[in-house]
């Protein structure tokens, strides 16, 4: 019979994937999963827990909700836009459904910052992990009707950025590769075919490195912003990497490392997310 640690380790990737989707920070996800382990080993007899997975998902969700409520205050005081921490998908559990892949995608995680903590929890548990409303209600200790309402509100807030064509991995990689070639060559005319009219660029320096303090909105402004960066800080190094299960760029410009992810929809780039805060760059090698 497996001991309590073996049972927990069996679910660790799933719990990390859940915690990360709820918090957008792998550091915080690891903390709450470790707290969940302490609570798990504190159970008098874990063998009596009929459904360890349900028990652990409940613990991690409730810990994440507490963390989210306090994090909202911290993120409001953050210097410049707060972006999720980019991570490698390996180690976060299986991505064997479209819903698990979508709720891990960087663009979706960024949009989930619009949600209240209960809305985010219901959305992730329902969309990503396909839990029934009655189980979600038990986890959150709220009525089933409230869960349905949270889910309705969440999908309404996210609909504008999600209910469109999502490219295949190959198409996404091609667009990222073309973006990289344009930046390396300095021939930004290529970007006119890649950027959507409503494209927005976010830069997260966290007050630790120089970065734009507000989102850059619109095709002309984003194109001018990129042109200014390339002229002033030529690319010293850049390569395609995997971040959040999708192609991304790891680049160095002006001595500053950054990871750049993209919201690709309808064959165009609608969002560019550049993470320069060094505290958020350690998960992508």
Give the domain ranges of the chain. Answer: 4-85+97-162, 169-280
Query: pLDDT by residue (tens digit) across 137-188?
Result: 999 999 999 999 999 999 999 986 555 446 667 788 899 999 999 888 888 8
| pLDDT (0 to 100) of residue 165 | 46
In CATH, what number does 169-280 get?
A: 3.10.450.50
CATH superfamily of 4-85+97-162: PhyR, sigma-like (SL) domain (1.20.140.160)
Q: pTM for the whole thing?
A: 0.93
Of all residues in the chain, the percent with pLDDT exceeding 70 is 95
Q: pLDDT tens-digit profile of 234-271?
A: 888 899 999 999 999 999 998 899 999 999 988 899 99
Q: Beta strands 246-253 and 256-265: pairing type?
A: antiparallel
- Containing H/E element for 261? strand 256-265
Confidence grade of residue 2 (pLDDT, cut at 50, 70, 90)? low
Whole-number Å distance between alpha carbons of 225 and 75: 25
Q: Which two tokens stand for residue 26?
A: 């792998």
**Is the Cβ–Cβ distance between 205 and 79 less than 8 Å?**
yes
């Amino acid at each position: 019979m497996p001991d309590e640690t073996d049972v927990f380790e069996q679910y660790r990737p799933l719990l990390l994937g859940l915690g990360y989707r709820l918090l957008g920070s792998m550091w915080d996800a690891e903390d709450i999963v470790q707290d969940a382990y302490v609570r798990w080993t504190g159970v008098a007899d874990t063998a009596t827990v009929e459904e360890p997975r349900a028990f652990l998902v409940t613990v991690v969700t409730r810990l994440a909700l507490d963390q989210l409520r306090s994090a909202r205050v911290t993120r409001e005081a953050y210097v410049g836009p707060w972006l999720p921490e980019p991570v490698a998908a390996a180690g976060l559990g299986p991505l064997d459904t479209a819903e698990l892949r979508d709720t891990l995608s960087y663009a979706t995680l960024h949009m989930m910052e619009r949600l209240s903590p209960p809305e985010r929890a219901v959305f992730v548990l329902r969309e990503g992990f396909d839990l029934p409303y009655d189980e979600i209600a038990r986890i959150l200790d709220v009525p089933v009707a409230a869960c349905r309402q949270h889910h309705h509100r969440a999908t309404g807030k996210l609909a504008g950025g999600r209910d469109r064509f999502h490219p295949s991995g190959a198409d996404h990689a091609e667009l990222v590769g073309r973006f990289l070639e344009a930046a390396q060559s300095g021939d930004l005319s290529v970007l006119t075919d890649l950027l959507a009219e409503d494209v927005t660029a976010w830069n997260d320096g966290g007050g630790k490195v120089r970065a734009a303090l507000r989102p850059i909105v619109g095709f002309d402004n984003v194109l001018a912003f990129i042109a200014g960066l390339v002229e002033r800080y030529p690319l010293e190094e850049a390569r395609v990497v995997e971040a959040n299960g999708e192609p991304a760029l790891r680049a160095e410009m002006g001595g500053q490392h950054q990871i750049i992810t993209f919201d690709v929809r309808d064959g165009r780039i609608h969002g560019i997310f550049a993470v320069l805060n060094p505290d958020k760059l350690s998960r992508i090698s």
